[in-house]
């Protein structure tokens, strides 16, 4: 394959999905080539990346990570993807292309999209509320696979559009969309699915991969390099299968061996919880949020008045933006699309609650189960606009 002069002899890694190839040079810069499924004369290389419209000055792999992967969800190959209500939705006409990258400790995943600012500010949480520490990451068609040092495996269907962030082009709802005639995309986005472990008699390495096998978001195959009874090859299974199959290759192992314990050890090497706790008071009502993580979509919100207590969920989606946002939580306000969800059982028993809590739910949330709200967060404050609450860091 002919390479542009600026890239020739400098490639340190490549990743391919659908009809696109991404390459990274020795400075961590990202180059992309499209039309890979067509004739070579149509292949088109560019270092352009980011706003506006994939015409930005370029981007680099987040964290400078060697554990990165290129993902493309396309209308041509994938056609549709399925939300948590069981509804299939067409893939956007412009495809969804991301580089996902794993942090040094394996507990954070940042992604960069050619249509978004080149600021490394968008994240996808790892399993167990962003505390799972992965050794490896692979993504294809917006389906990510991670594995830890003990061989615990998780998959997730997630990208910018699926997350609920692309409200310019798609409609989303936290209300139940099952059976809807014209369903919106169900939120929250699909979470991590704990996959079965490779049989304990087998060995595995940290070389993992995801492969699309057809149309729809379940058409994926998972693969893990390893050994079975001393023979080298790879373990594989369809995304929704319950068991792994081994295919021998005889090739030497290239990845680092993992322990592959028979029991679940997902929680044995957790990263520290998020340090962002917030609390505040409005009249007789106090509110508290513990361990807020910008990449975790659902956070418990506890409201108290007198001896009464309401436990609700604050949903947050990192919103669409075209300007640069600082990474993580800083003094720069970060704007989220939010939603306050009240369990139906709480609404049913609302009449038994403290009057101040009843009034808050009635007057500010309209006694609704799900209520959209803007949420603005810094490293010092968290504001839930619809509730009229600003909580301070504690």
Please count the CA atoms within 13 angstroms of the CA of 240 that sit on its side-chain side.
Answer: 6
* C-alpha dihedral, 208 to 211 to 216 to 217, nearest 10°: 10
Answer whether 0.85 is exceeded by the pTM. Answer: yes
Please name the residue ranges forming H helices in the chain: 127-130, 160-163, 344-348, 355-365
Short-list 124, 145, 149, CA closest to 135: 149
Do the beta carbons of residue 43 and residue 34 sit within 8 Å? yes
Over its length of 394 residues, how does the chain's per-residue pLDDT go in tens digits? 889 999 999 999 999 999 999 999 999 999 999 999 999 999 999 999 999 989 999 999 999 999 999 999 999 999 999 999 999 999 998 899 999 999 999 999 999 999 999 999 999 999 999 999 999 999 999 999 999 999 999 999 999 999 999 999 999 999 999 999 999 999 999 999 999 999 999 999 999 999 999 999 999 999 999 999 999 999 999 999 999 999 999 999 999 999 999 999 999 999 999 999 999 999 999 999 999 999 999 999 999 999 999 999 999 999 999 999 999 999 999 999 999 999 999 999 999 999 999 999 999 999 999 999 999 999 999 999 999 999 999 9
Torsion of CA 73, 77, 82, 87, to 10 degrees: 130
Q: Is the peptide bond before 173 cis (omega within 30 degrees of 0)?
A: no
Query: Residue with structure tokens 């942090």?
Result: 103
Distance separating alpha carbons of residues 285 and 277, to the nearest angstrom: 17
State how beta strands 185-186 and 193-195 pair.
Answer: unpaired
Instruction: Tell me whether strands 185-186 and 172-173 are parallel, antiparallel or unpaired.
Output: parallel
How many Cα atoms occupy the beta-carbon half-sphere of 362 within 13 Å? 10
């Amino acid at each position: 394959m002919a390479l542009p002069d600026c890239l020739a002899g400098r490639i340190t890694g490549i990743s391919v999905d659908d009809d696109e190839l991404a390459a990274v040079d020795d400075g961590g810069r990202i180059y992309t080539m499209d039309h890979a499924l067509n004739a070579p004369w149509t292949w088109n290389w560019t270092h352009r990346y980011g706003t506006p419209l994939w015409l930005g000055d370029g981007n680099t792999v987040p964290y400078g990570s060697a554990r990165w992967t290129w993902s493309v969800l396309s209308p041509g190959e994938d056609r549709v993807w399925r939300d948590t209500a069981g509804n299939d939705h067409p893939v956007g006409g412009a495809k969804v292309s991301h580089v996902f990258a794993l942090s040094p400790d394996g507990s954070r995943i940042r992604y960069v999209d050619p249509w978004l600012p080149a600021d490394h500010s968008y994240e996808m949480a790892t399993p167990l509320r962003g505390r799972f520490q992965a050794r490896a990451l692979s993504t294809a068609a917006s389906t990510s696979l991670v594995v830890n040092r003990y061989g615990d495996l998780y998959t997730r269907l997630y990208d910018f559009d699926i997350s609920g962030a692309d409200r310019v082009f798609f409609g989303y709802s936290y209300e139940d969309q099952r059976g809807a005639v014209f369903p919106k995309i169900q939120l929250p986005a699909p979470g991590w699915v704990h996959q079965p472990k490779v049989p304990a008699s087998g060995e595995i390495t940290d070389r993992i991969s995801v492969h699309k096998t057809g149309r729809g978001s379940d058409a994926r195959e998972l693969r893990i390099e390893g050994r079975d009874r001393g023979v080298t090859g790879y373990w594989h299974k369809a995304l929704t299968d319950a068991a792994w199959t081994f295919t021998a290759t005889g090739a030497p192992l290239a990845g680092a061996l993992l322990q592959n314990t028979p029991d679940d050890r997902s929680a044995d090497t957790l990263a520290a919880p998020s340090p962002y706790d917030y609390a505040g008071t409005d009249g007789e009502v106090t509110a508290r949020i513990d361990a807020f993580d910008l990449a975790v979509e659902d956070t418990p919100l506890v409201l108290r008045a007198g001896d009464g207590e309401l436990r609700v969920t604050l949903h947050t989606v990192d919103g669409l933006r075209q300007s640069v946002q600082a990474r993580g939580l800083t003094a720069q306000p970060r704007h989220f699309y939010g939603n306050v969800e009240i369990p139906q059982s709480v609404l049913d028993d609302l009449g038994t609650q403290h009057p101040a809590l009843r009034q808050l739910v009635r007057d500010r949330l309209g006694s609704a189960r799900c209520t959209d709200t803007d949420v603005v967060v810094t490293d010092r404050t968290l504001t839930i606009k619809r509730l009229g609450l600003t909580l301070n860091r504690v």
